[in-house]
Amino acid sequence: MSEPLLEVNHLKKYFPIKAGLLSRTVGHVKAVDDISLSIRPGETFGLVGESGSGKSTVGKAILRLTEKTSGSILFKGTDLYSLSGKELRDIRPKMQLIFQDPYSSLNPRVRIGDAIGEALFDHGIVHKGEVRDRVEEVLALCGLSSYHYDRFPHEFSGGQRQRIGIARALILNPELIIADEPVSALDVSIQAQIINLFHNLKKSRGLAYLFISHDLSVVEHLCSRIGVMYLGSMMETASRDELFRNPLHPYTKALLSAVPIPIPKLKRERIVLQGDIPSPANPPTGCKFHTRCPYAVTRCKEEVPAFRYVSSDHAVACHLV
Domain that holds residue 136: 69-212
Q: Return the pLDDT at 100.
A: 80
What b/e sequence results for 224-240 when a residue is b if at least 16 CB atoms lie within 10 Å of its CB, and e otherwise?
Answer: bbbbbbbbbbbbbbbbb
* Chain segment 256-285, per-residue pLDDT in tens: 888 777 777 777 677 778 878 888 889 999
- CB 162, CB 182: distance < 8 Å: yes
Quote the number of domains for the chain.
1
Domain-embedded: residue 312: no
- CB 69, CB 16: distance < 8 Å: no
Going across the sheet that includes 78-79, the strands are 24-39, 6-19, 70-75, 78-79
Q: Return the pLDDT at 273.
A: 81
Q: Return the pLDDT at 1.
A: 59
Assign 3-state DSSP to the chain and report helix, strand, coil percentages, each to 5.
Answer: 35, 25, 40
Q: Which residues of the chain have pLDDT under 70?
A: 1, 268
Domain-embedded: residue 145: yes
Q: Return the pLDDT at 128.
A: 75
Positive or negative, the CA dihedral 44, 194, 186, 192 is: negative
Domain-embedded: residue 59: no
Domain-embedded: residue 236: no
Domain-embedded: residue 97: yes
How far apart are alpha carbons 20 and 298 in whole angstroms? 37
Q: Return the pLDDT at 163.
A: 87
Answer yes or no: pTM beyond 0.75: yes
Q: What are phi and psi of 165, to 5 degrees?
A: -60, -40
Q: ∠ CA(304), CA(307), CA(311), 5° rounding?
A: 145
Domain-embedded: residue 137: yes
* CATH code, 112: 3.40.50.300
Q: Which of 85, 88, 60 is nearest to 75 (CA)?
A: 88
Q: Return the pLDDT at 152.
A: 94
